[in-house]
Amino acid sequence: MPPLHDLRRNATLTFAAPPLALWADQQYRSLPRLDPFSPNTPLPSLSIIIPARDEQANLLRLLPRLQRLRYPGELEIIVADDGSSDLTAQVARAYGAKVLRIACLPTGWYGKPHGCHAAAQLALGDWLLIIDADTDIDPYGPARAVAHAERCGLDALTVFLRQQCGSAVDQLALAAAHAGLFATIQPTKNLLNGQFMMFRRSTYFDSGGFAAVRQHMFEDLAFGHHLASLGYEVRAFDGEDIGSVRMYDDTRSLWRGMGRLGTETFRWTRWRSFPTVILVTALMSPLVTLIGVVLGQLDRRWLPATWLAATAAGLPWLQRFGNPVLAPAIPFGALFVQLAAVWGLVNKLLGRGLLWKGRRV
Mean pLDDT of 279-292: 92
Question: Is 10 in the same domain as 38?
Answer: no
CA distance 342 to 70: 44
Whether this model's pTM surpasses 0.85: yes
pLDDT one-digit tens code per residue, 170-217: 999 999 999 998 988 777 667 899 999 999 999 999 999 999 998 887
Mean pLDDT of 19-40: 90
Mean pLDDT of 143-162: 95
Which residues make beta-bridge pairs with 235?
157
Domain range for 340 is 4-28+255-346
Mean pLDDT of 143-164: 95
pLDDT one-digit tens code per residue, 290-340: 988 888 888 889 999 999 999 999 999 999 887 899 999 999 999 999 999
pLDDT of residue 279: 93
**Is pLDDT at 1 greater than 60 in this prediction?**
no
**Is pLDDT at 358 greater than 70 in this prediction?**
no
Question: Is 37 in the same domain as 48?
Answer: yes
Which residues make beta-bridge pairs with 80?
51, 100
Question: Is 220 in the same domain as 265?
Answer: no
CA 69 to mean position of chain CA atoms: 23
pLDDT one-digit tens code per residue, 65-95: 999 999 999 999 999 999 899 999 999 999 9
Confirm if 302 and 11 have CB atoms less than 8 A apart: yes
Nearest to 337 by CA among 144, 180, 198: 180
Question: Is 60 in the same domain as 131?
Answer: yes
Could you tell me which residues come within 8 angstroms of residue 277 by beta carbon, excluding any fewer than 6 positions away?
180
The separation between the first and the last C-alpha atoms of the chain, rounded to the nearest angstrom, is: 37
Q: Which helix (H) or strand (E) segment is 288 a member of?
A: helix 274-294
Which of 207, 232, 250 lies at the terminal end of a domain, its last residue? 250
Question: Is 230 in the same domain as 311?
Answer: no
CA 45 to mean position of chain CA atoms: 27
Question: Is 16 in the same domain as 114?
Answer: no
Confirm if 108 and 214 have CB atoms less than 8 A apart: yes
Least confident stretch, 41-50, 165-174, 329-338: 165-174
Question: Is 113 in the same domain as 261?
Answer: no
**Is pLDDT at 261 greater than 60 in this prediction?**
yes
Question: Is 262 in the same domain as 243?
Answer: no
Mean pLDDT of 131-160: 95
Which of 197, 232, 250 lies at the terminal end of a domain, its last residue? 250
pLDDT of residue 263: 67
In this prediction, residue 348 has a pLDDT band, given cuts at 50, 70 and 90, of confident
> Which amino acid would we find at residue 329?
A
Least confident stretch, 84-93, 230-239, 352-361: 352-361
CA distance 311 to 307: 6
In this prediction, residue 62 has a pLDDT band, given cuts at 50, 70 and 90, of very high
Question: Is 298 in the same domain as 215?
Answer: no
> By CB neighbour count within 10 A (0-12 exposed, 13-18 middle, 19+ buried), where does 331 fall?
buried
> Which amino acid would we find at residue 164?
Q
Question: Is 319 in the same domain as 234?
Answer: no
Count of structural domains, the chain? 2
pLDDT of residue 172: 95
Confirm if 329 and 37 have CB atoms less than 8 A apart: no
Question: Is 160 in the same domain as 297?
Answer: no
In this prediction, residue 357 has a pLDDT band, given cuts at 50, 70 and 90, of low
**Is pLDDT at 353 greater than 90 in this prediction?**
no
CA distances from 174 to 94, 150, 218, 358 (A): 34, 33, 18, 23
Mean pLDDT of 113-125: 96
Which of 250, 272, 297 lies at the terminal end of a domain, its last residue? 250
Most confident of 99-108, 119-128, 172-181: 119-128
In a domain, 174, yes or no: no
